[in-house]
Chains A and B, each alone.
Chain A
Amino acid sequence: MKELSLHILDIAENSIGAKADFVRIAVDETVKEGYISIEIQDNGPGIQKEMIGSVADPFVTTRTERRIGMGISLFKAAAEQSCGAFDIESDEKKGTRVKAVFKKDHVDTAPVGDTAATIITLLAGNPGLDIRYEHATPENSFFLDTREIRQDLEGIDIDHPAVLEKIKELINDNIGSKR
């Protein structure tokens, strides 16, 4: 992936495919000098204990249309090839949490990229989905929660183009569009 935001999109789509209707996406560029942490957490049914050790094995998947799954495999490899780290936790009651840490100045670390586009794409394709998006940079700390946004919309759908455009502006105004 040329941008980390595309990994986020891919992992969140896994969550949606697993019937999650809430995804928390947290990008933190302040945890440790020179590192970016990306966490994607869902309220899906979780991954079976027997599967958790092999989720990053591309030949292990619950897919039925094809027998190879690449999302987590690529995310883990991207973190590890740039001196970062990867971790996954899953619980049948709490859902799944995927976390990867990237070393910012490593030459193989992709830029964070267009996270606003990722959020918008997720919402546009899945109007029933709620997202809490948190993004902390040394300059600013920002979050948006679609559960709160929905309350202000008074009946307008969250995937209405004008709403999506507003959400995109809100994100880019807070964290910058060029990342």
Chain B
Amino acid sequence: MNVKELADKLGLEIHAGKQAADRDILGGYTGDLLSDVMARINPGTAWMTIQTHQNIVAVAVLREAACISITGGHRPDRETVERAEKENMPVLLADDNSFDLCLKIADLKVL
């Protein structure tokens, strides 16, 4: 499943980085402590976080994540959106908290 299909199925807005939404999702991770995420995620991860600072784009690009989903109704900083566009990193917005979003993804039985 790619990022666009995931966003469509869950009704999530792709707020930035749409141009890279055909990227395949190979797994998922939830975490808000960036050093932990940086150490643990694998390429192709759909990453759920409530962090909104541009550092999340840096971590995602560095670790080749498939996309970032900002959960809990949080909204990214302006720099984050600009950076995600430039770096081709899809940023999805979810009103669900990370737990509920993960449950919905599990229901899709694709990962």
Which of B33, B36, B38 lies at the interface centre, i.e. has the most chain A CB atoms within 10 A of its CB? Answer: B33
Q: Is the interface of B mostly helix, strand, loop or mixed?
A: helix
Contact between B55 and A59 (Cβ–Cβ < 8 Å)? no
Our pick among B36, B58, B83, B87 for the contact of A70 (Cβ within 8 Å) is: B58
Kindly identify which residue among A1, A2, A6, A70 contacts B62, using a CB–CB cutoff of 8 Å: A70
Partner of A58, one of B35, B36, B58: B58
Which residues in A have their C-beta under 8 angstroms from that of B87? 59
| Chain A nearest CB, measured from B30 CB (Å) | 16
**Main SS of chain A's interface residues?**
loop
Q: Give CA–CA (A44, B23) in the complex, Å.
A: 42
* Residue in B36, B57, B62, B83 with the greatest tally of chain A CB atoms within 10 Å: B62
For window 4-24 of B, CB contacts with A under 8 Å fall at none
B97 interface residue per 8 A CB criterion: no
Per the bound structure, the CA–CA distance linking A68 and B56 in Å amounts to 12
Is A178 at the interface (CB under 8 A from chain B)? no
Q: Is B53 engaged at the interface, CB distance under 8 Å to the other chain?
A: yes
B61 touches A68 (CB 8 A): yes
Q: Is B2 an interface residue (CB 8 A)?
A: no
Interface residues of B in 44-103 (CB under 8 A from A): 53-55, 57-59, 61-62, 83, 87
Q: Is B105 an interface residue (CB 8 A)?
A: no
Q: Does A52 contact B (CB under 8 A)?
A: no
- Minimum C-beta distance from B39 to chain A (A): 10
Which chain B residue has the least Cβ–Cβ distance from A10?
A: B35
| A77 interfacial contact with B, CB 8 Å | yes
- Chain B, residue nearest A81 (CB): B53
CB of A143, distance to nearest CB on chain B (Å): 28
Near B by CB (< 8 A), chain A positions 31-76 give: 57-59, 66, 68, 70, 73-74
- List, in ascending order, chain A residues with CB within 8 A of B62's CB: 66, 68, 70
Find out whether the CB atom of A73 lies under 8 angstroms from the CB atom of B55.
yes
B residues sitting closer than 8 Å to A (CB atoms) are: 33-36, 38, 53-55, 57-59, 61-62, 83, 87
